[in-house]
């Protein structure tokens, strides 16, 4: 099996690449990334298992010729490449449209002319916008940010391939947890960095806003399983737990008892989005979390150099 990962040098891609290279059925993993996020940690400080099976191509989603060449002989594509700038998801529409919308369109055009058998698209629960009730896969998307809109447009392009290949749209919750290509704009990762290095965290709004989360290890397991199992194609939510910001603060304070926290614009009530955990995917893939959030964050703490 030959696998291509767009955005493979990023946060999720780094973890997924390592996991896929351990699989005996994988002949080659091709990482296709333009390095716009300067994810050089992907290349340094560790050795990938079976590294002779790993190929890196520095290429852009909007470079149709490079993309088509990279897809030759590929069986499975993971589309992870995206512009993500939490918490500035509503700051620059062109910024998101160029990659998340039109970049996905270019990939789909190339896939239509390829022999790829399976496409796994890393979507986002942000397509639901906000809701006072828990959303499910049956909830109508209603994105409220430029980022959410661009991810929904990407989904629409992917759905054109349904009759050509097995397509999977995974609407992922907020991803957290340690790996070599960390994202510190994500709220849990940012809290851990600030708590460990500064002894103080900053909270935007009143802290009561809820979000859906999933640990990087669990998400990687889901992505891997879909490549190798006979999963019914479709749209799935992939989340593990719903937490408010104040819930997170309580756990981080258990780990760092001297922690201080500072509210910014505490009078604001920010967007709420909780996602039902009983996704239809759970009946096909076992990704129950055996660890508490505190245990996960204690493991994270142990990764800091000091």
Whether 256 is catalytic is no
Query: HSE of 278 in the Cβ direction (CA atoms, 13 Å)?
Result: 2
Q: Please tell me the distance from the alpha carbon of residue 211 to that of residue 190, in angstroms, as a whole number.
A: 15
Handedness of CA 115, 118, 123, 127 (dihedral sign): positive
Query: HSE of 42 in the Cβ direction (CA atoms, 13 Å)?
Result: 27
Two structure tokens written together for 33: 């990334």
* 3-state class (DSSP) for residue 287: coil
Q: Please tell me the distance from the alpha carbon of residue 33 to that of residue 81, in angstroms, as a whole number.
A: 7
Out of 128, 147, 176, 236, the active site residue is 147
The DSSP element (H or E) to which 13 belongs, if any, is helix 11-21
The distance in angstroms from the start CA to the end CA of the chain is 41
Torsion angle of the four alpha carbons 298, 281, 172, 27, in this order, in degrees rounded to the nearest 10:
90
The answer to whether 123 touches 173, Cβ cutoff 8 Å, is no
The answer to whether 136 touches 81, Cβ cutoff 8 Å, is no
Residue count of the chain:
306
The answer to whether 201 touches 262, Cβ cutoff 8 Å, is yes
**Which residues participate in catalysis according to the annotation?**
147
């Amino acid at each position: 099996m030959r696998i291509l990962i767009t955005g493979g040098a990023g946060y999720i891609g780094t973890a997924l690449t390592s996991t896929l290279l351990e699989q005996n059925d994988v002949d080659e993993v091709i990482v296709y990334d333009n390095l716009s996020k300067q994810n050089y940690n992907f290349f340094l400080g560790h050795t990938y298992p079976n590294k002779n099976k790993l190929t890196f191509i520095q290429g852009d989603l909007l470079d149709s010729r490079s993309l088509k060449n990279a897809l030759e002989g590929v069986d499975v594509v993971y589309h992870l490449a995206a512009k993500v700038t939490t918490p500035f998801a509503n700051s620059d529409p062109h910024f998101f449209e160029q990659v998340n919308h039109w970049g996905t369109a270019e990939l789909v055009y190339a896939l239509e002319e390829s022999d790829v058998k399976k496409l796994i698209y890393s979507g986002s629960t942000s397509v639901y916008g906000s809701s006072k009730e828990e959303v499910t896969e049956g909830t109508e998307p209603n994105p409220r940010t430029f980022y959410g809109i661009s991810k929904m447009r990407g989904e629409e392009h992917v759905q054109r391939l349904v009759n050509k290949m097995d397509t999977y749209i995974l609407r992922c919750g907020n991803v957290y947890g340690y790996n070599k290509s960390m994202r510190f704009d994500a709220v849990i990762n940012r809290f851990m960095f600030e708590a460990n290095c500064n002894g103080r965290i900053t909270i935007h709004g009143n802290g009561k806003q809820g979000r859906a989360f999933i640990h990087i290890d669990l998400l990687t397991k889901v992505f891997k399983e879909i490549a190798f199992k006979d999963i019914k194609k479709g749209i799935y939510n992939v989340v593990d737990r719903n937490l408010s910001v104040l819930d997170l603060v309580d756990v981080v304070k258990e780990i760092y008892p001297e922690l201080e926290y500072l509210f910014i614009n505490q009078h604001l009530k920010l967007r709420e989005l909780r996602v039902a955990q009983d996704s239809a995917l759970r009946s096909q893939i076992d990704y129950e979390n055996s660890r508490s959030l505190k245990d996960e964050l204690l493991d994270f703490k142990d990764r800091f150099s000091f």
